[in-house]
Structure 1
Amino acid sequence: MDNKNVLISGAGIAGLTLAYWLKKFGFNPTIIEVAPKLRKGGYAIDFWGAGFDVAERMKIVPDLEKVDLNISEVAFVDENNKRRGGMNYKELKKMMNGRALTLLRSDLSKVIYYHLDKDIEIIFGDLIHKIEQHDEGVTVHLRSGSTRLFDLIVGADGLHSNVRSLVFGSEAQFEKYYGYYTASFTIEDSVSHGTYF
């Protein structure tokens, strides 16, 4: 494939991982991220299965193990703080031969980021403002005023993707409400003195 200049919108887990593999296979990825630096915080995620397989191929598992939250159990309690159920993470890890971690999303992103090839260009604090597709590729106009030419754009910029909106229009036309909401919040863990999400 001759068209090897790829712009990835989003420096999260998906965007950084894609850049890693594109570079490995001879492409020239550039990442653009609206945040001024890597984002902090985010949900804690269970990390095993296919994700663990990919991390092994990237040789980043030792660094991921350093940021493992080492959660021993998740308990479900009622309004009286009475335990109604739970999940024993220590036993789960044993069943998976240790190939399971619990990570903050930002920690996973940070580990991937530090394993990227240093030649990969990352533009922080900017945003794709306009996209024009033509025979030579895709012209991208950035919010900062600069214009760049790429062969391909990948929208890895999350649930409310800017790239998807620019190409397909408002996300409202594709949304379907199923009657559920989800929320998260930050609490201080008095046992390990860490912050969990």
Structure 2
Amino acid sequence: MDKVCAVFGGSRGIGRAVAQLMAQKGYRLAIIARNLEVAKAAAGELGGDHLALSCDVAKERDVQNTFEEMEKNLGRVNFLVNAAGINRDSLLVRTKTEDMISQLHTNLLGSMLTCKVALKTMIQQQRGSIVNVGSIIGLKGNSGQSVYSAGKGGVVGFSRALAKEVARKKIRVNVVAPGPIEQRWTKSSYVLTSLGQCCE
């Protein structure tokens, strides 16, 4: 069976490093980001026959269309990585409601929507693996990041519950919670080692 991996948020940071790892392991990849040109650049760096797509993970129709496009061009997705995320740091009393909503929609709802669509195929195949990227901030909290912490903490709880839902279908759901990274970050041994173990 083809090894097909969808990396949401695969154009930069952790997602980009994950895509590099998965390409080395022989996966055919879909690099998904809001900005299509940036996704194309990241996919092009990997060499091989990889796909670049644009998607807003907070919009269910976008997510559904993206999976349809992946299945049409790469085959059924059997490995999903959710690394898409946004951060709008601010003290809660200064945070605009629309910024709260956008963070929660991207960081938490987005992972829920991609998992929901991916699972339909994985359940049919009776196999699959999902890795959701949380954050240490979601476990310990941090001043000025209460909304971000809520979203990433939600990803942890969601992943744990989902793992119990789908284990009997031979589908694994894991969550990794890395610490802060620099903008020019390219590798994290902790995250990549964890992902390498999850995809075997």
Regarding TM over 0.5, the answer is: no
Task: Mark the structure with the bigger radius of gyration.
Answer: 1
Point out the structure with the larger helix share.
2
Q: Which has the higher contact order (CA 8 A, sep 6+)?
A: 1
Q: Under TM normalisation by the shorter chain, which class is it? A: 0.3 to 0.5
Q: Normalized against structure 2, the TM-score is what?
A: 0.36
More strand by share: 1
TM-score by length of 1: 0.37
